[in-house]
């Protein structure tokens, strides 16, 4: 066990989203975070764990659906049983993070938690650690802190955080006030943000005292906070299952951006640390292709065990989860995802539309491939 | 049984080529002629048989590889055992057609044979029959006759036949001298041909007295004619197998265009009947897409039993020989061929390059998918 960044620091990994824009690779039973999308030899979940362990030691709490208990514990043998929080059904990020915070704060009232998605790719762990340490220092001052990523292009697939004045925080020279949160912008607005140099990508990372985070939630969304507190109160008792059964279904489904971060920005309680590392949420196959082609537009990247790909003058991405031989002849910027029971062919420009195909599949009753 | 076009007319169907530009649909064990590529509900071989039966009655001889004996006899229950000619190995069209002619002429010295590939698509059987009847009349006058197709575009994937003066043949008002044979031309030459209105597509159809065809071969290519005659002489005797075993390997591999048609044109013995029906040899997936999309550029055609294809704004062709769900999102002019053990993704512009992929596969030792 490594010495943690701060003895009271707890990392939370919500391992929730299915990543339906990555269908047919990512599925309900085998979601995105279980795949080695970064090409490290480990799943994204294990990469996330390995990135957080030097900062949090064994204080890492994973929140996942009951259906993924077996695979998550198999992937993370060092995860303590008491640090695995199982959700009976998906309720979006507020429920996952707030429940973890509410459980942790009852075990350690001084806890500072940091929440980091299980399925993002970060390529510079040292700079990531530096940003988290500044965020912890800023959280100690009572702020809810996010780490914003310096944009490298006018991306329209990410949300943006506007940076305000510098905050004078000990141990956090780069802490700034976070002024606004903006949803995925239109292309012209994204270009403005990129040029203006006052906006960072929202990477969904939140660091705060558990107590501060929960107080913010209780103020803004008592309807969420109340069942969460009830469940957390019973969590480390023999009443857990009964209370979860009674309360979980009452929790509204809402993203932490709306329930906590945006109101905190309005209350001047939100801070941001610029993260000077490369980050991607690999939200679709265009992002996955970008990651593996590293900007080389004439390359056909290949992902998957035992892939057999024959390429003649093609570029883009092939994900091979079958043993089929795949021949790709003269097609540019293509995305091919081949699995045992489903095949997707699209291109980078249409990668976001994959979600609507998944919805069509659900509507037409072909759920066997979801 | 239908009354034939002429009592001495014999149709020959060489069922030879693998069609490697149609890989991975067309394979060594399951070649192109066994597929329902025209969407008629029958294989191309059965379509060819059905087109010829009204003209030749039961006088239809099929030439195929020994490996395809079982599937060919299954497809053609009306084919007489004595009319099935099995090749020990592929030797191109001259060997196949000349052997059939040499066998037939020994059974009927006055036989007129007409050779028609097993894997072409013709959509107007009535006009086809009309052209064949004119070709038979012309063959009776001692000509080697081909049926040329009126070009509908400046195709570079077909050979061309230049039409000469009209021949005064009884019962064949459209018979002309065939002046030259040209291999697949460059695009500018093809455009010239199309505009000049004196060139027809070479559809590989040859009609001639069997004796005339064989004499032409004996004159031009005695090295081919000699082992063919030896085999034919023994064919309907108990010595067939021994003679085939000794002679077959001696036969040079050469296309009938070079061994017979071109020399016949030089000797003023080649005639051509313009075929006023639509024809395609479906030489590659671009041709197959064209056939099924009928010129509508925004359509995604789907071929294959039990195909499950979800399309969002794509065009081109999907051939589905697996039970996989195939989702195609926003890709234009795409060609997807999905089989149990191999997947091809290309587009119309690159369809001719598929052959080189097959050669790569052979070189890299992945013969399991050929």
Enter the pTM of the model. 0.87
pLDDT at position B1 is 46
Indicate the length of chain B as a whole number.
370
Q: For residue A277, how many C-alpha atoms fall within 13 Å in the half-sphere facing its CB? A: 20
pLDDT the model gives residue A3: 61
Residues A28 and A64 both lie in one domain? yes
Which residue in chain B is spatially nearest to A355 when comparing CA positions? B329
Contact predicate B51/B122, CB 8 Å: yes
Q: Which two tokens stand for residue B107?
A: 């059974």
Of A280, A313, A334, the position where a domain reaches its end is: A280
* pLDDT at residue B261 is higher than 90: yes
Residues of chain A predicted below pLDDT 70: 1-3
Q: Convert the pLDDT of each residue in B49-64 to its tens digit.
A: 999 999 999 999 999 9
Could you tell me what percent of chain B has a pLDDT over 70?
Answer: 99
Same domain? A295 vs A276: no
**pLDDT confidence band for B304 (50 / 70 / 90):** confident
Establish if B1 belongs to a structural domain: no
Query: Is B3 inside a domain boundary?
Result: no
B323-338 average pLDDT score:
94
Q: Do B346 and A325 touch (CB under 8 A)?
A: no
pLDDT tens profile B204-246 = 999 999 999 999 999 999 999 999 999 999 999 999 999 999 9
Per-residue pLDDT at A1? 45
Confidence band of B3 (pLDDT split at 50, 70, 90): low
Task: Identify the CA nearest to A350 among candidates B167, B272, B330.
Answer: B330
Shared domain for A226 and A323, answered yes or no, is no
Asked if A312 and B353 come within 8 Å (Cβ–Cβ), the reply is yes
Strands B112-115 and B144-149: unpaired
Cross-strand pairs, A114: A11, A207
Which domain-ending residue is among B280, B299, B326?
A: B280
The predicted structure's pLDDT at residue B19: 77
Does residue A213 lie in a domain region?
Answer: yes
Contacts of B336 in chain A (CB under 8 A): 343, 345
Together in a domain, B130 and B222: yes
Q: Are residues B324 and B239 in the same domain?
A: no
SS3 B369: helix
Say whether both B195 and B292 belong to one domain.
no
**Which residues lie below 8 Å from residue B142, measured CB to CB, with a gap of 6+?**
B209, B212, B269
Burial class, B53, CB count within 10 angstroms (exposed 0-12 / middle 13-18 / buried 19+): middle
Final residue of a structural domain among B220, B247, B280: B280
Residues B198 and B313 in one domain: no
**Which candidate in A308, A325, A350, A354 is best for mutational testing of the B interface (most B CBs within 10 A)?**
A325
What gap in Å lies between CA A358 and CA A27, rounded to an integer?
Answer: 10
What pLDDT sits at residue B175? 97
A273 SS3 class: strand
Strands (E), B189-265: 199-209
Nearest to A324 among B23, B342, B356 (CB): B342
Tell if the CB–CB gap between A326 and B342 is shorter than 8 Å. yes
Task: Show residues of chain B in contact with A329, CB under 8 Å.
Answer: 344-346, 350, 353-354, 357
Q: Does a structural domain hold residue A4?
A: no
Clarify whether residues B122 and B270 are in a common domain: yes
Cβ atoms A32, A22 nearer than 8 A: yes
- The continuous run of DSSP H or E covering B73 comes out as helix B69-75
Interchain proximity A329–B345, CB inside 8 Å: yes
Test B329 with A345 for CB contact under 8 angstroms: yes
Number of structural domains, chain B? 2
Who has greater pLDDT, B139 or A40? B139
pLDDT in tens, A185-197: 999 999 999 999 9
**Would you say residue B249 has pLDDT above 50?**
yes
Residues B274 and B298 in one domain: no
Which residues in B have their CB inside 8 Å of a CB on A?
23-24, 308, 310, 312-314, 323-331, 334, 336, 338, 340-347, 349-350, 353-354, 356-357, 360-361, 364, 366, 369
Q: Which helix (H) or strand (E) holds B177?
A: strand B176-182
Residue B136 lies in a domain: yes
Residues B157 and B206 in one domain: yes
Nearest CB to A325; choose among B323, B331, B342? B342
Per CB-CB distance under 8 Å, the chain B contacts of A343 are 324-327, 336, 338, 343
Residues of A in contact with B24 (CB under 8 A): 325, 327
Counting residues of chain B whose pLDDT is more than 90, the rounded percentage is 81
Backbone angles phi, psi at B52, to 5 degrees: -90, -25
Q: Where in the sequence is the domain holding A32, given as residue range(s)?
A: 9-280
pLDDT-derived band at B99, boundaries 50, 70, 90: very high
Q: What is the DSSP string of B303-322?
A: ESTT-EEEEES--EEEEE-S
ipTM at complex level: 0.85
Residue given tokens 């940076």 in the structure block: A163
Residue B261 lies in a domain: yes
Looking at A141-182, list the stretches that DSSP marks H as alpha helix, in order from N- to C-terminal side.
none
Domain check: are B180 and B272 in the same one?
A: yes
Q: Is residue A1 part of a domain?
A: no
Q: What is the domain-level CATH number for residue B108? A: 3.90.550.10
Over residues B319-334, the mean pLDDT reads 93
Query: Residue A83 domain-assigned?
Result: yes
Shared-domain flag, residues B252 and B186: yes
Contact at 8 Å (CB) between A138 and A175? Answer: yes
* pLDDT tens column, B65-97: 999 999 999 999 999 999 999 999 999 999 999
């Amino acid at each position: 066990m490594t010495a943690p960044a701060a003895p009271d620091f707890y990392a939370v990994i919500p391992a929730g989203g299915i990543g339906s824009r990555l269908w047919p690779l990512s599925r309900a039973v085998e979601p995105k975070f279980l795949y080695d999308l970064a090409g490290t030899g480990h799943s994204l979940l294990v990469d996330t764990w390995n990135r957080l362990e030097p900062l949090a030691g064994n204080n890492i709490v994973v929140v996942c659906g009951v259906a993924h208990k077996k695979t998550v514990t198999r992937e993370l043998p060092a995860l303590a049983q008491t640090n695995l929080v199982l959700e009976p059904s998906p309720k979006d990020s507020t429920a996952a993070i707030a429940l973890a915070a509410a459980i942790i704060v009852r075990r350690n009232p001084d806890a500072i938690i940091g929440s980091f998605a299980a399925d993002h790719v970060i390529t510079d762990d040292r700079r990531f650690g530096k940003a988290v340490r500044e965020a912890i220092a800023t959280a100690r001052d009572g702020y809810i802190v996010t780490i914003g990523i310096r944009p490298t292009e006018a991306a329209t697939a990410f949300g943006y955080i506007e940076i305000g004045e510098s905050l004078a925080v000990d141990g956090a020279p780069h802490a700034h006030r976070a002024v606004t949160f903006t949803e995925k912008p239109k292309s012209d607005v994204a270009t403005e943000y990129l040029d203006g140099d006052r906006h960072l990508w929202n990477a969904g990372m939140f660091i705060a005292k558990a107590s501060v985070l929960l107080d913010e939630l209780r103020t803004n969304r008592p309807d969420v906070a109340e069942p969460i507190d009830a469940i957390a109160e019973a969590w480390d008792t023999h009443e857990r299952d009964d209370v979860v059964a009674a309360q979980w279904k009452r929790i509204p489904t809402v993203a932490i951006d709306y329930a906590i971060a945006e109101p905190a920005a309005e209350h001047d309680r939100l801070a941001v640390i610029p993260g000077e590392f490369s980050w991607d949420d690999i939200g679709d196959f265009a992002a996955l292709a970008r990651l593996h082609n590293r900007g080389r537009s004439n390359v056909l990247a290949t992902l998957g065990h035992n892939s057999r790909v024959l390429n003649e003058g093609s570029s883009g991405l092939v994900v091979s989860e079958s043993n089929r031989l795949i021949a790709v002849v003269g097609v540019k910027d293509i995305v091919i995802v081949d699995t045992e029971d489903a095949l997707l062919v699209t291109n980078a420009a249409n990668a976001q539309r994959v979600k609507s195909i998944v919805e069509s599949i659900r509507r037409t009753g072909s759920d066997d491939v979801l």
